[in-house]
Structure 1
Amino acid sequence: MPEASRRRPLGLAIWLIIAGVIGWYAAFALTIERFHLLADPNATASCDFSILVQCTANLESWQGSVFGFPNPILGLAGWVAPIVVGAALLAGARFARWFWLLFWAGMLFAFGFVIWLISQSLFELGTLCPWCMVTWSVTIPTFYAVTVHAMRSGVFGRSPGLLRFSRGLMRWVPLATIVSYGIVIIVAQIAPTRALTNIFGL
Protein backbone atom coordinates (compact mmCIF):
# COMPACT_ATOMS: atom_id res chain seq x y z
CA MET A 1 0.00 0.00 0.00
CA PRO A 2 1.45 3.40 -0.95
CA GLU A 3 2.74 5.45 1.95
CA ALA A 4 0.35 8.30 1.13
CA SER A 5 -2.65 6.03 1.62
CA ARG A 6 -1.48 5.03 5.11
CA ARG A 7 -1.36 8.63 6.32
CA ARG A 8 -4.39 10.70 7.09
CA PRO A 9 -4.61 13.44 4.42
CA LEU A 10 -5.17 16.23 6.94
CA GLY A 11 -4.52 19.02 4.47
CA LEU A 12 -7.02 17.58 2.02
CA ALA A 13 -9.54 17.03 4.81
CA ILE A 14 -9.33 20.64 5.98
CA TRP A 15 -9.58 21.96 2.43
CA LEU A 16 -12.62 19.78 1.68
CA ILE A 17 -14.42 21.25 4.69
CA ILE A 18 -13.48 24.84 3.83
CA ALA A 19 -14.34 24.44 0.14
CA GLY A 20 -17.56 22.62 0.99
CA VAL A 21 -18.73 25.37 3.33
CA ILE A 22 -17.87 28.11 0.82
CA GLY A 23 -19.50 26.26 -2.07
CA TRP A 24 -22.59 25.41 -0.03
CA TYR A 25 -23.02 29.01 1.09
CA ALA A 26 -22.72 30.25 -2.50
CA ALA A 27 -25.36 27.73 -3.58
CA PHE A 28 -27.58 28.79 -0.68
CA ALA A 29 -27.24 32.47 -1.61
CA LEU A 30 -28.12 31.73 -5.24
CA THR A 31 -31.11 29.63 -4.15
CA ILE A 32 -32.42 32.50 -2.04
CA GLU A 33 -31.97 34.86 -4.98
CA ARG A 34 -33.88 32.46 -7.23
CA PHE A 35 -36.77 32.28 -4.74
CA HIS A 36 -36.75 36.06 -4.58
CA LEU A 37 -37.00 36.35 -8.38
CA LEU A 38 -39.76 33.75 -8.53
CA ALA A 39 -41.77 35.63 -5.90
CA ASP A 40 -41.34 38.93 -7.75
CA PRO A 41 -40.52 38.63 -11.46
CA ASN A 42 -39.89 42.39 -11.62
CA ALA A 43 -37.29 42.30 -8.86
CA THR A 44 -33.54 42.21 -9.36
CA ALA A 45 -31.11 40.03 -7.49
CA SER A 46 -28.96 41.65 -4.80
CA CYS A 47 -25.89 40.38 -6.68
CA ASP A 48 -26.78 42.39 -9.81
CA PHE A 49 -24.14 45.10 -10.00
CA SER A 50 -24.17 45.90 -13.71
CA ILE A 51 -25.30 44.50 -17.04
CA LEU A 52 -22.13 42.39 -17.13
CA VAL A 53 -21.81 41.48 -13.44
CA GLN A 54 -25.10 40.01 -12.31
CA CYS A 55 -26.90 36.84 -11.20
CA THR A 56 -30.36 37.37 -12.69
CA ALA A 57 -29.46 36.56 -16.30
CA ASN A 58 -27.77 33.33 -15.22
CA LEU A 59 -30.55 32.23 -12.87
CA GLU A 60 -33.33 32.90 -15.38
CA SER A 61 -31.61 31.33 -18.38
CA TRP A 62 -32.12 27.73 -19.48
CA GLN A 63 -28.49 27.13 -18.55
CA GLY A 64 -29.45 27.99 -14.98
CA SER A 65 -31.86 25.03 -14.83
CA VAL A 66 -30.19 22.42 -17.00
CA PHE A 67 -31.77 19.45 -15.24
CA GLY A 68 -35.21 20.94 -14.87
CA PHE A 69 -34.59 22.66 -11.55
CA PRO A 70 -32.32 25.56 -10.52
CA ASN A 71 -28.64 24.63 -10.63
CA PRO A 72 -28.00 25.95 -7.08
CA ILE A 73 -30.04 23.02 -5.73
CA LEU A 74 -27.29 20.77 -7.09
CA GLY A 75 -24.83 22.80 -5.06
CA LEU A 76 -26.92 22.59 -1.90
CA ALA A 77 -26.88 18.80 -2.15
CA GLY A 78 -23.48 18.28 -3.71
CA TRP A 79 -21.33 20.46 -1.44
CA VAL A 80 -22.45 18.46 1.58
CA ALA A 81 -20.31 15.55 0.34
CA PRO A 82 -16.89 17.29 0.64
CA ILE A 83 -17.82 18.57 4.10
CA VAL A 84 -18.79 15.08 5.28
CA VAL A 85 -15.76 13.42 3.67
CA GLY A 86 -13.40 16.03 5.10
CA ALA A 87 -14.86 15.70 8.60
CA ALA A 88 -14.67 11.91 8.38
CA LEU A 89 -11.00 12.05 7.32
CA LEU A 90 -10.23 14.33 10.26
CA ALA A 91 -11.91 11.79 12.53
CA GLY A 92 -9.63 9.06 11.19
CA ALA A 93 -11.97 7.38 8.69
CA ARG A 94 -10.50 5.33 5.87
CA PHE A 95 -12.51 4.80 2.73
CA ALA A 96 -12.48 1.92 0.29
CA ARG A 97 -11.19 2.34 -3.24
CA TRP A 98 -14.71 2.25 -4.70
CA PHE A 99 -15.70 5.14 -2.43
CA TRP A 100 -12.83 7.31 -3.61
CA LEU A 101 -13.67 6.44 -7.23
CA LEU A 102 -17.28 7.55 -6.71
CA PHE A 103 -16.19 10.70 -4.88
CA TRP A 104 -13.69 11.53 -7.62
CA ALA A 105 -16.34 10.88 -10.29
CA GLY A 106 -18.63 13.33 -8.50
CA MET A 107 -15.87 15.94 -8.46
CA LEU A 108 -15.15 15.24 -12.14
CA PHE A 109 -18.80 15.91 -12.94
CA ALA A 110 -18.71 19.12 -10.88
CA PHE A 111 -15.51 20.25 -12.62
CA GLY A 112 -16.86 19.52 -16.09
CA PHE A 113 -20.16 21.20 -15.28
CA VAL A 114 -18.36 24.30 -14.01
CA ILE A 115 -16.21 24.50 -17.14
CA TRP A 116 -19.37 24.31 -19.25
CA LEU A 117 -21.10 26.95 -17.12
CA ILE A 118 -18.08 29.25 -17.42
CA SER A 119 -18.20 28.96 -21.21
CA GLN A 120 -21.95 29.59 -21.25
CA SER A 121 -21.65 32.54 -18.90
CA LEU A 122 -18.88 34.21 -20.87
CA PHE A 123 -19.83 33.44 -24.47
CA GLU A 124 -23.59 32.95 -24.47
CA LEU A 125 -25.04 34.94 -21.56
CA GLY A 126 -22.35 37.62 -21.53
CA THR A 127 -22.36 37.91 -17.74
CA LEU A 128 -20.22 37.22 -14.71
CA CYS A 129 -22.35 35.92 -11.85
CA PRO A 130 -20.64 36.77 -8.51
CA TRP A 131 -21.90 33.76 -6.56
CA CYS A 132 -21.27 31.51 -9.56
CA MET A 133 -17.66 32.68 -9.60
CA VAL A 134 -17.34 31.77 -5.92
CA THR A 135 -18.49 28.27 -6.82
CA TRP A 136 -16.03 28.09 -9.71
CA SER A 137 -13.18 29.25 -7.49
CA VAL A 138 -13.56 26.35 -5.03
CA THR A 139 -14.61 23.62 -7.47
CA ILE A 140 -11.46 23.87 -9.58
CA PRO A 141 -8.84 23.37 -6.81
CA THR A 142 -11.01 20.77 -5.06
CA PHE A 143 -11.11 18.65 -8.20
CA TYR A 144 -7.34 18.95 -8.61
CA ALA A 145 -6.68 18.06 -4.96
CA VAL A 146 -9.01 15.04 -4.96
CA THR A 147 -7.52 13.82 -8.24
CA VAL A 148 -3.95 14.01 -6.94
CA HIS A 149 -4.92 12.29 -3.68
CA ALA A 150 -6.62 9.51 -5.62
CA MET A 151 -3.56 9.08 -7.84
CA ARG A 152 -1.03 8.88 -5.02
CA SER A 153 -3.29 6.60 -2.97
CA GLY A 154 -3.49 3.99 -5.69
CA VAL A 155 -7.14 4.58 -6.50
CA PHE A 156 -6.40 4.64 -10.25
CA GLY A 157 -3.97 1.74 -10.06
CA ARG A 158 -0.71 0.96 -8.35
CA SER A 159 1.73 1.07 -11.22
CA PRO A 160 5.12 2.31 -9.99
CA GLY A 161 5.25 4.95 -12.71
CA LEU A 162 1.91 6.48 -11.76
CA LEU A 163 2.76 6.46 -8.05
CA ARG A 164 6.13 8.09 -8.72
CA PHE A 165 4.50 10.72 -10.91
CA SER A 166 1.89 11.55 -8.28
CA ARG A 167 4.40 11.76 -5.43
CA GLY A 168 4.78 15.40 -4.45
CA LEU A 169 2.19 16.46 -7.03
CA MET A 170 -0.08 17.97 -4.39
CA ARG A 171 2.28 20.92 -3.97
CA TRP A 172 1.53 21.89 -7.55
CA VAL A 173 -2.22 22.14 -6.99
CA PRO A 174 -2.07 25.85 -5.98
CA LEU A 175 -0.09 26.70 -9.12
CA ALA A 176 -2.46 24.70 -11.33
CA THR A 177 -5.35 26.54 -9.69
CA ILE A 178 -3.79 29.95 -10.31
CA VAL A 179 -3.11 29.03 -13.94
CA SER A 180 -6.74 27.93 -14.31
CA TYR A 181 -7.96 31.21 -12.83
CA GLY A 182 -5.64 33.05 -15.21
CA ILE A 183 -7.08 31.22 -18.22
CA VAL A 184 -10.61 32.16 -17.15
CA ILE A 185 -9.55 35.81 -16.71
CA ILE A 186 -7.91 35.87 -20.15
CA VAL A 187 -10.96 34.29 -21.78
CA ALA A 188 -13.18 36.81 -19.97
CA GLN A 189 -11.20 39.60 -21.64
CA ILE A 190 -11.85 38.05 -25.05
CA ALA A 191 -15.52 37.32 -24.41
CA PRO A 192 -16.96 40.87 -23.98
CA THR A 193 -17.28 41.48 -27.74
CA ARG A 194 -19.45 38.39 -28.08
CA ALA A 195 -21.20 39.23 -24.80
CA LEU A 196 -22.17 42.73 -25.93
CA THR A 197 -23.46 41.28 -29.18
CA ASN A 198 -25.69 38.89 -27.25
CA ILE A 199 -26.91 41.57 -24.88
CA PHE A 200 -27.67 44.34 -27.35
CA GLY A 201 -28.43 42.19 -30.38
CA LEU A 202 -25.75 43.91 -32.44
Structure 2
Amino acid sequence: MPDEPVEAVGTEGDADDTDDEYADEFPVATSSLGRGQPSEHEQAGGTRREYAILTIVAGVLGVLAAIELMLDYLRVLADPNYVPACDINPLVGCGMFLGSWQSSVLGIPNTVIGMVAFPVLITTGILLLVRLRLPRWYWRGLLVGATFGIGFVTWLQYQAITQIRALCPYCLVVWLVMIPFFVHTVARAMQNGSLPVPDGVRAFVVPNRWLITVIWYLLVVAAAAFGLGADWLTVF
Protein backbone atom coordinates (compact mmCIF):
# COMPACT_ATOMS: atom_id res chain seq x y z
CA MET A 1 0.00 0.00 0.00
CA PRO A 2 1.53 3.42 -0.95
CA ASP A 3 2.09 6.06 1.69
CA GLU A 4 -1.10 7.90 2.64
CA PRO A 5 -1.15 11.66 3.20
CA VAL A 6 -2.19 13.07 6.55
CA GLU A 7 -5.96 13.62 6.45
CA ALA A 8 -8.91 14.16 8.76
CA VAL A 9 -11.50 11.40 8.80
CA GLY A 10 -14.41 12.90 10.71
CA THR A 11 -15.90 12.08 14.06
CA GLU A 12 -15.59 8.96 16.15
CA GLY A 13 -19.11 7.88 15.17
CA ASP A 14 -18.41 8.38 11.47
CA ALA A 15 -15.27 6.26 11.76
CA ASP A 16 -17.22 3.41 13.34
CA ASP A 17 -19.74 3.54 10.48
CA THR A 18 -16.89 3.47 7.99
CA ASP A 19 -15.41 0.42 9.65
CA ASP A 20 -18.76 -1.36 9.34
CA GLU A 21 -18.70 -0.81 5.57
CA TYR A 22 -15.53 -2.90 5.45
CA ALA A 23 -16.90 -5.73 7.56
CA ASP A 24 -16.91 -8.15 4.63
CA GLU A 25 -13.27 -7.45 3.79
CA PHE A 26 -12.13 -7.33 7.42
CA PRO A 27 -14.45 -9.71 9.34
CA VAL A 28 -13.14 -8.72 12.79
CA ALA A 29 -12.61 -5.02 12.16
CA THR A 30 -15.08 -4.01 14.87
CA SER A 31 -12.91 -5.77 17.45
CA SER A 32 -9.54 -5.07 15.92
CA LEU A 33 -7.93 -4.12 19.20
CA GLY A 34 -8.76 -7.49 20.66
CA ARG A 35 -7.75 -9.78 17.81
CA GLY A 36 -5.05 -7.97 15.87
CA GLN A 37 -7.01 -7.54 12.62
CA PRO A 38 -6.71 -3.92 11.48
CA SER A 39 -9.77 -1.80 10.71
CA GLU A 40 -9.85 0.36 7.61
CA HIS A 41 -8.97 3.43 9.67
CA GLU A 42 -5.97 1.67 11.23
CA GLN A 43 -4.76 0.37 7.88
CA ALA A 44 -4.84 3.93 6.55
CA GLY A 45 -2.53 5.20 9.32
CA GLY A 46 -5.00 6.05 12.06
CA THR A 47 -5.44 4.43 15.44
CA ARG A 48 -7.88 4.14 18.33
CA ARG A 49 -7.96 6.48 21.32
CA GLU A 50 -6.08 4.07 23.58
CA TYR A 51 -2.80 4.50 21.72
CA ALA A 52 -3.28 8.25 21.25
CA ILE A 53 -3.88 8.80 24.97
CA LEU A 54 -1.00 6.52 25.92
CA THR A 55 1.34 8.46 23.64
CA ILE A 56 0.27 11.83 25.04
CA VAL A 57 0.65 10.65 28.66
CA ALA A 58 4.06 9.13 27.90
CA GLY A 59 5.18 12.34 26.23
CA VAL A 60 3.99 14.61 29.04
CA LEU A 61 5.55 12.50 31.82
CA GLY A 62 8.75 12.13 29.81
CA VAL A 63 9.05 15.89 29.24
CA LEU A 64 8.44 16.65 32.92
CA ALA A 65 11.07 14.11 34.00
CA ALA A 66 13.58 15.47 31.45
CA ILE A 67 12.99 19.07 32.58
CA GLU A 68 13.47 18.22 36.24
CA LEU A 69 16.70 16.35 35.47
CA MET A 70 17.94 19.26 33.35
CA LEU A 71 17.25 21.75 36.14
CA ASP A 72 19.14 19.58 38.63
CA TYR A 73 21.96 19.14 36.10
CA LEU A 74 22.31 22.93 35.75
CA ARG A 75 22.22 23.39 39.53
CA VAL A 76 24.98 20.82 39.99
CA LEU A 77 27.08 22.58 37.35
CA ALA A 78 26.61 25.90 39.14
CA ASP A 79 27.27 24.44 42.58
CA PRO A 80 29.15 21.11 42.86
CA ASN A 81 27.96 20.85 46.47
CA TYR A 82 24.29 21.08 45.50
CA VAL A 83 22.23 18.06 46.62
CA PRO A 84 19.20 17.38 44.40
CA ALA A 85 15.88 17.05 46.21
CA CYS A 86 15.44 13.61 44.64
CA ASP A 87 18.46 12.26 46.55
CA ILE A 88 16.40 10.21 49.01
CA ASN A 89 18.99 7.67 50.23
CA PRO A 90 22.17 5.95 48.97
CA LEU A 91 20.11 3.72 46.68
CA VAL A 92 17.56 6.20 45.32
CA GLY A 93 18.64 9.59 44.01
CA CYS A 94 19.64 11.70 41.02
CA GLY A 95 22.99 13.11 42.13
CA MET A 96 24.98 9.95 41.47
CA PHE A 97 23.56 9.79 37.94
CA LEU A 98 24.13 13.45 37.08
CA GLY A 99 27.78 13.06 38.04
CA SER A 100 28.36 9.90 36.00
CA TRP A 101 29.67 9.57 32.44
CA GLN A 102 26.49 7.66 31.57
CA SER A 103 24.49 10.89 31.92
CA SER A 104 26.11 12.29 28.75
CA VAL A 105 27.02 9.16 26.84
CA LEU A 106 26.27 10.68 23.41
CA GLY A 107 28.25 13.85 24.11
CA ILE A 108 25.25 15.82 25.35
CA PRO A 109 23.21 15.40 28.54
CA ASN A 110 20.67 12.61 28.19
CA THR A 111 18.05 15.05 29.42
CA VAL A 112 18.45 17.09 26.22
CA ILE A 113 17.52 14.02 24.18
CA GLY A 114 14.41 13.57 26.28
CA MET A 115 13.41 17.24 25.97
CA VAL A 116 13.61 16.93 22.18
CA ALA A 117 12.07 13.48 21.76
CA PHE A 118 9.11 13.49 24.14
CA PRO A 119 7.35 16.52 22.61
CA VAL A 120 7.20 14.47 19.39
CA LEU A 121 5.15 11.90 21.29
CA ILE A 122 2.77 14.58 22.55
CA THR A 123 2.29 15.98 19.05
CA THR A 124 1.77 12.52 17.57
CA GLY A 125 -0.77 11.61 20.22
CA ILE A 126 -2.76 14.80 19.65
CA LEU A 127 -2.84 14.21 15.88
CA LEU A 128 -4.10 10.67 16.38
CA LEU A 129 -6.59 11.73 19.06
CA VAL A 130 -8.33 14.04 16.56
CA ARG A 131 -8.42 11.05 14.19
CA LEU A 132 -5.85 12.12 11.63
CA ARG A 133 -4.30 9.38 9.53
CA LEU A 134 -0.53 9.49 9.50
CA PRO A 135 1.49 8.35 6.46
CA ARG A 136 3.43 5.11 6.58
CA TRP A 137 6.80 6.86 6.52
CA TYR A 138 5.79 8.67 9.73
CA TRP A 139 4.84 5.41 11.45
CA ARG A 140 8.13 3.85 10.41
CA GLY A 141 10.05 6.85 11.72
CA LEU A 142 8.10 6.65 14.97
CA LEU A 143 8.95 2.94 15.20
CA VAL A 144 12.65 3.67 14.64
CA GLY A 145 12.56 6.33 17.32
CA ALA A 146 10.75 4.03 19.75
CA THR A 147 13.29 1.27 19.08
CA PHE A 148 16.21 3.63 19.70
CA GLY A 149 14.50 4.91 22.84
CA ILE A 150 13.83 1.50 24.37
CA GLY A 151 17.34 0.36 23.45
CA PHE A 152 18.84 3.40 25.16
CA VAL A 153 16.59 2.95 28.20
CA THR A 154 17.55 -0.73 28.46
CA TRP A 155 21.23 0.19 28.36
CA LEU A 156 20.68 2.80 31.08
CA GLN A 157 18.83 0.22 33.17
CA TYR A 158 21.81 -2.10 32.90
CA GLN A 159 24.20 0.71 33.85
CA ALA A 160 22.03 1.76 36.80
CA ILE A 161 21.75 -1.76 38.21
CA THR A 162 25.25 -3.09 37.55
CA GLN A 163 27.55 -0.03 37.46
CA ILE A 164 26.03 2.95 39.25
CA ARG A 165 24.11 0.62 41.55
CA ALA A 166 21.36 3.10 42.28
CA LEU A 167 17.97 4.17 40.96
CA CYS A 168 17.13 7.66 39.74
CA PRO A 169 13.46 8.60 40.41
CA TYR A 170 13.12 10.68 37.25
CA CYS A 171 14.82 7.96 35.21
CA LEU A 172 12.27 5.51 36.60
CA VAL A 173 9.52 7.71 35.16
CA VAL A 174 11.14 7.48 31.72
CA TRP A 175 11.45 3.71 32.08
CA LEU A 176 7.80 3.56 33.12
CA VAL A 177 6.52 5.31 29.98
CA MET A 178 8.96 4.03 27.37
CA ILE A 179 8.12 0.34 27.83
CA PRO A 180 4.39 0.58 27.02
CA PHE A 181 5.04 3.18 24.32
CA PHE A 182 7.45 0.85 22.54
CA VAL A 183 5.23 -2.24 22.85
CA HIS A 184 2.13 -0.40 21.65
CA THR A 185 3.98 1.32 18.80
CA VAL A 186 5.18 -2.07 17.56
CA ALA A 187 1.59 -3.37 17.77
CA ARG A 188 0.20 -0.39 15.84
CA ALA A 189 2.94 -0.60 13.21
CA MET A 190 2.04 -4.26 12.71
CA GLN A 191 -1.61 -3.34 12.27
CA ASN A 192 -1.13 -0.63 9.66
CA GLY A 193 1.51 -2.52 7.67
CA SER A 194 4.46 -0.30 8.59
CA LEU A 195 6.06 -3.35 10.23
CA PRO A 196 5.32 -6.36 7.99
CA VAL A 197 4.99 -9.55 10.03
CA PRO A 198 3.18 -12.87 9.60
CA ASP A 199 -0.49 -12.82 10.56
CA GLY A 200 0.21 -15.15 13.48
CA VAL A 201 2.74 -12.76 15.00
CA ARG A 202 0.36 -9.82 14.68
CA ALA A 203 -2.50 -11.88 16.11
CA PHE A 204 -0.37 -12.59 19.19
CA VAL A 205 1.26 -9.21 19.79
CA VAL A 206 -1.71 -6.88 19.27
CA PRO A 207 -4.22 -8.42 21.71
CA ASN A 208 -1.46 -9.20 24.24
CA ARG A 209 0.26 -5.82 24.17
CA TRP A 210 -0.65 -5.00 27.80
CA LEU A 211 0.34 -8.47 28.96
CA ILE A 212 3.72 -8.03 27.24
CA THR A 213 4.06 -4.64 28.94
CA VAL A 214 3.33 -6.08 32.39
CA ILE A 215 5.78 -8.96 31.88
CA TRP A 216 8.44 -6.45 30.80
CA TYR A 217 7.82 -4.41 33.95
CA LEU A 218 8.16 -7.52 36.11
CA LEU A 219 11.46 -8.44 34.43
CA VAL A 220 12.87 -4.97 35.15
CA VAL A 221 11.70 -5.12 38.77
CA ALA A 222 13.23 -8.59 39.17
CA ALA A 223 16.51 -7.41 37.61
CA ALA A 224 16.65 -4.46 40.02
CA ALA A 225 15.74 -6.62 43.01
CA PHE A 226 18.37 -9.26 42.34
CA GLY A 227 20.97 -7.03 40.68
CA LEU A 228 21.19 -4.54 43.52
CA GLY A 229 21.12 -7.35 46.09
CA ALA A 230 22.36 -6.26 49.52
CA ASP A 231 22.26 -2.59 48.46
CA TRP A 232 18.55 -2.64 49.30
CA LEU A 233 19.53 -2.86 52.97
CA THR A 234 20.65 0.79 52.79
CA VAL A 235 17.03 1.80 52.27
CA PHE A 236 15.94 0.44 55.66
TM score, norm. by length of structure 2: 0.76
The residue type paired with residue 63 of structure 1 is Q
C-alpha distance in structure 1 between counterparts of 2:82 and 2:183, whole Å: 38
Residue 48 in structure 1 maps to residue 87 in structure 2:
yes
TM score, norm. by length of structure 1: 0.88
Identify, as 1 or 2, the structure richer in helix: 1
In structure 2, the partner of 1:165 is 201
C-alpha distance in structure 1 between counterparts of 2:217 and 2:47, whole Å: 29
SS at match of 1:41: coil
In structure 2, the partner of 1:87 is 126
C-alpha distance in structure 1 between counterparts of 2:184 and 2:195, whole Å: 14
SS at match of 2:131: coil
- Once the two structures are aligned, what percentage of the paired residues are identical? 34
Contact 1:125 1:195 in 2 (8 A): no
| Deviations, residues 84-116 of structure 1 (Å, cap 9, x unaligned) | 111111223212211111110000000000000
Q: Shift of the alpha carbon at 1:129?
A: 0.4
In structure 1, the partner of 2:43 is 5
C-alpha distance in structure 1 between counterparts of 2:118 and 2:173, whole Å: 13
In structure 2, the partner of 1:141 is 180
Contact 1:123 1:194 in 2 (8 A): no
The residue type paired with residue 180 of structure 1 is W
Q: Shift of the alpha carbon at 1:179?
A: 1.1
CA pair 47-107 structure 1, distance change in 2 beyond 3 A: same
The residue type paired with residue 113 of structure 1 is F
Contact 1:124 1:195 in 2 (8 A): no
In structure 2, the partner of 1:64 is 103
What RMSD, in angstroms, separates the aligned Cα atoms of the two structures? Answer: 1.9
Q: Shift of the alpha carbon at 1:122?
A: 0.5
In structure 2, the partner of 1:23 is 62
Runs of 4+ deviating beyond 3 Å: 167-171, 193-196
Matches within 5 A, 1:93-172: 93-157=132-196, 162-167=198-203, 169-172=205-208
C-alpha distance in structure 1 between counterparts of 2:218 and 2:200, whole Å: 28
Contact 1:24 1:76 in 2 (8 A): yes
SS at match of 1:179: helix
SS at match of 1:191: helix
Q: Shift of the alpha carbon at 1:194?
A: 8.6
SS at match of 1:79: helix
C-alpha distance in structure 2 between counterparts of 1:5 and 1:91, whole Å: 17
Q: Shift of the alpha carbon at 1:139?
A: 0.3
| Runs of 5+ unmatched residues, structure 2 | 2-37
In structure 2, the partner of 1:179 is 215
Q: Shift of the alpha carbon at 1:172?
A: 1.7
Q: Please identify the structure whose Cα radius of gyration is greater.
A: 2
SS at match of 2:84: coil
